[in-house]
Amino acid sequence: MVQIIYDQAAGAVTVTGHAGAGEHGQDLICAAVSTLVCTLAENVRQMEAQGMVSAASMDIRPGDCHIAWTAAVQARDLVRAMLETVILGLACVARDHPDHAAFTVG
């Protein structure tokens, strides 16, 4: 099971585990989560380059990922809106596939 934890207050997402919904390389739930995690990471990288976030950190490995950021005060609402769009996608994957993914706001 994929565990997705969104720490809204800290500005961080942690994803652990594997969905187990298909063979390696054929698991559509893992593919969806991986795509959204890569999108989130790239958004954070680009926002950091633009000065919208600072203290960005990313540790992304198969079955284990942690992405964290601190939004700049002047961009806080925009950063939240942009990143929560991707995070909403993660929540939807978990909602639609509860046997293979779980989403928690911590």
* 29-35 mean pLDDT: 96
* 60-67 mean pLDDT: 94
What pLDDT does 106 receive? 87
- Does 75 score more than 90 pLDDT? yes
- Contact in structure between 56 and 78 (CB atoms under 8 Å): no
- Does 25 score more than 90 pLDDT? no
- What token pair was written down for 101? 């993914």
Pairing of strands 64-71, 53-61: antiparallel
Q: Which CATH superfamily is domain 9-105 in?
A: Cysteine protease Prp (3.30.70.1490)
* 25-37 mean pLDDT: 95
- Does 94 score more than 90 pLDDT? yes
47 vs 106: CA distance, rounded Å = 23
The domain locations on the chain are 9-105
* 77-102 mean pLDDT: 96
